[in-house]
Structure 1
Amino acid sequence: MNINSTVISGYQALSDLRYLLHGKETALLVTDRNIAAIPAVQALITQLQQQIARLHVIEAVPPEPTHHDVAAIVAALPVREIDLVIGVGGGSVLDVAKLLSLLCVTGAPTLDALLAGEKPVTRTPSLLIPTTAGTGSEATPNAILAIPEKQTKVGIITPVMLPDYVALIPELTTSMPPHIAASTGIDALCHLIECFTATVANPVSDNYALIGLKKLFTSLETTLAEPDNLAARLDMLWASYYGGAAIAHAGTHLVHALSYPLGGRYHLPHGIANAILLAPCMRVVRPAAVSKFAQAYDLLPDADRTLDDEAKSHALVAYLTALVKRLALPDSLEALGIGPDHLPYLVEAALDVQRLIKNVPMSVSASDVHAIYQTLFPALPAQPQRRTYA
């Protein structure tokens, strides 16, 4: 899959948008109310209003949007003939912006048709500007929507959604609360390590994953300790972008498959769900990906490169476990109000995400999934499970 987006990046790179906007008379800016209130975003909107004759601002994107939310946004659009769709926000905002770039085209498939699998052939030009460093939505062909009737999430996937332009602007991420920066950073880490170890991994996705992991390992905790460190924030934006690019060329697997039910039914933020599952899932995957775990471990700033690959793979899992704790992210479902009586539903719903389960570098049974979820309920005794590896 070719990613042909033009990427601009760096401090004050918003001034470089001017040439991208030449000839654009009507634009739709998609964001949410919290993002729209950030002073730097307000300045961006003012800049766009000075350059675009008719700029329509949509601030109605909720966290974890449903297909009903998107349908309501489409129904309320002031115009349909748009020269440019601009998404400014986190992953949910960017996913909705990508969908609107498909839907603001005369004769385009409807949202219901897209959900049913119809493939679009064209879209409105788009510019995506992430304000969090995690989802990598600006580099993926995916848009994820919650389906409340089924208590899960689904992905609309088409390379047609890949944007024309991406702007990685570190000063737009400085308003992220620390817990958001932590959870979105873990989301990016999940994308990178899952794509790197997926059955569909390849040299292109591996390259993106390794570059992204190196940037993330050296920058994630720095951005939390030094909120105004724009160099570290830019590295995190690039780590997130590389995670999205890795998804476009490979795909995530076990963490994301098991996190989808947590978001779909219990409305846990995606980064939180992934953080809870990261270490338990990687502990299970490790024996099937020892060499790649060792390569990832070697990217840690304080890696002990005298260890053999087996020891490095264990050390990486230990690092991931400790990282989630250092970031003060949850590591149990009970702490979030989800009891062990929900285990049967979680197992069944996770195994339904076959699009991702097939990417796991080992065979995965219901017993395996049950055992992983069971570790998120510390009061329950662990039950060893037999596993086989591809």
Structure 2
Amino acid sequence: MNINSTLISGFQALNDIGYLLQNRRSLLLVTDKNISAIPAVATLTEQLRRQADTLIILDNVPPEPSQHDVAAQLESLNGRQVETVIGIGGGSVLDVAKLLSVLCLSGAPTLDQLLAGEKPTARLPSLLIPTTAGTGSEATPNAILAIPEQETKVGIISPVMLPDYVALAPELTTSMPPHIASSTGIDALCHLIECFTATVANPVSDNYALIGLKKLFASLETSVAEPHNLQARLDMLWASYYGGAAIAHAGTHLVHALSYPLGGKYHLPHGVANAILLAPCMRAVRPAAVTKFAQAYDLLPNADRSLNDEEKSHALVDYFAALVRRLKLPASLDELGIKADQLPQLVESALDVQRLIKNVPTPVSASMVRNIYLTLFPTLSA
């Protein structure tokens, strides 16, 4: 899958947005109210308002949007014509912007048709600007939607949704509170390590994953502790982008398959659900990915090169568990007050995510999935 987006990056990269969009006269800006209040975004919005004949702003995209939310966004446009779609925000905003770039095009499939598996063949020109360093949505062909009726999430996937332009501006991420920077960073980590170890991994996705992992290991904790460290924030944006690019060429697997039901049923933020599952899932797949785990371990700033591959693979899983603790993210569902009475439904829902389960480098059974979920309820074995 080719990623042909034009990228601009660095402090004040937003100053170049006007040039990129100089001939676009009718713009749709997709964001949320928290993001639209960021001074740099407000400045960009005013620039776009002066530059374009029409600027339509949709600034109420919710976290973890459902298909109903996207339908409401589309309906609110009242058929107004749009020439270019701009998404500024976290993964939820960018996913909605990608979908609207398809749905606002005359003759496009409906949202229901996309959910049923029909693939779009065209979209409006688009620009995506992430304000979190986690989802990598700006580099993936995916748009993830919650399906409340099924208490899970689904992905609408098509290379058509990859944007024309991407801007990585670290100043937009400095307002993220520590828990958001931590959880979105862990999401990026999951993308990178899952794609690196997936059955569909290949030299292209491996290259993206290894570059991204090196940047992430070196910058995640610094970016959380020092939110105005623009170099660390930019490195995290690149790590996130590389994670998205790895997804575009390979795919995630066990962590994401098991996290979708947690988001769908309990509405856990995606990064938090992934953080809880990271170490348990990686411990389960480690025996089938020892060499690659060892390669990833060697990218850690303080890696012990005297270990053999088997020891390195165990040490990497230990690092993941310790990292989640250091970032003060939840390590169990018990901590969040979630009970284990829905365990059978969680297992069933996770196994239904076959597009991800098939990427797991080891056979996946119901008992395996149940045992992983059980580790998230330590009080059951106390």
Name the residue aligned to 1:144.
144
User: 1:2-13 residue pairs with structure 2 within 5 A?
Assistant: 2-13=2-13
Name the residue aligned to 1:385.
none
Name the residue aligned to 2:378.
378
Residue pair 1:80, 1:105 contacting (<8 A) in 2 also: no
Return the letter of the residue paired with 2:193.
I
Shift of 1:80: 3.8
Counterpart Cα distance in 2 of 1:53 and 1:107:
24
Deviations for 1:33-80, whole angstroms, at most 9, x for unmatched residues?
111111121111112112222111101200000100100110111554
Counterpart Cα distance in 2 of 1:119 and 1:81:
22
Does the residue aligned with 1:129 lie in a helix, a strand or coil? Answer: strand
Name the residue aligned to 1:14.
14
Name the residue aligned to 2:294.
294
Counterpart Cα distance in 2 of 1:379 and 1:120:
47
- Which moved further from structure 2: 94-103 or 72-81? 72-81
Residue pair 2:334, 2:379 contacting (<8 A) in 1 also: no
Return the letter of the residue paired with 1:276.
I
User: 1:69-84 residue pairs with structure 2 within 5 A?
Assistant: 69-84=69-84
Deviations for 1:133-167, whole angstroms, at most 9, x for unmatched residues?
00000000000001111111100000000000000
Shift of 1:375: 0.4
Runs of 4+ in structure 1 off by over 4 angstroms are: none
Shift of 1:15: 1.2
Counterpart Cα distance in 2 of 1:191 and 1:60:
27
Residue pair 1:331, 1:376 contacting (<8 A) in 2 also: yes
Return the letter of the residue paired with 2:145.
L
Residue pair 2:31, 2:89 contacting (<8 A) in 1 also: yes
Name the residue aligned to 2:153.
153
Does the residue aligned with 1:127 lie in a helix, a strand or coil? Answer: strand
Deviations for 1:70-105, whole angstroms, at most 9, x for unmatched residues?
001101115542221000000000000000000111
Do structure 1's residue 336 and structure 2's residue 300 form an aligned pair? no
Return the letter of the residue paired with 1:176.
M
Gaps of 5+ in 1: 383-390
Do structure 1's residue 313 and structure 2's residue 291 form an aligned pair? no
Return the letter of the residue paired with 1:94.
L
Name the residue aligned to 1:216.
216
- Which moved further from structure 2: 42-51 or 130-139? 42-51
**Percent of pairs identical after alignment?**
77
- Which moved further from structure 2: 53-62 or 264-273? 53-62
User: 1:15-30 residue pairs with structure 2 within 5 A?
Assistant: 15-30=15-30
Return the letter of the residue paired with 1:373.
Y
Do structure 1's residue 196 and structure 2's residue 196 form an aligned pair? yes
Deviations for 1:242-288, whole angstroms, at most 9, x for unmatched residues?
00000000000000000000000110000000000000000111100
Does the residue aligned with 1:265 lie in a helix, a strand or coil? Answer: helix
Counterpart Cα distance in 2 of 1:71 and 1:82:
16
User: 1:1-390 residue pairs with structure 2 within 5 A?
Assistant: 1-381=1-381
Counterpart Cα distance in 2 of 1:298 and 1:154:
34
Shift of 1:214: 0.3
Does the residue aligned with 2:193 lie in a helix, a strand or coil? Answer: helix
- Which moved further from structure 2: 284-293 or 79-88? 79-88
Deviations for 1:281-328, whole angstroms, at most 9, x for unmatched residues?
001111000000000000000001111101100110010000000000
Does the residue aligned with 2:378 lie in a helix, a strand or coil? Answer: coil
Counterpart Cα distance in 2 of 1:183 and 1:104:
32
Gaps of 5+ in 2: none
Counterpart Cα distance in 2 of 1:156 and 1:224:
31
Shift of 1:381: 2.8
Residue pair 1:152, 1:265 contacting (<8 A) in 2 also: yes
User: In angstroms, what is the RMSD of aligned CA positions?
Assistant: 0.9
Residue pair 2:178, 2:225 contacting (<8 A) in 1 also: no
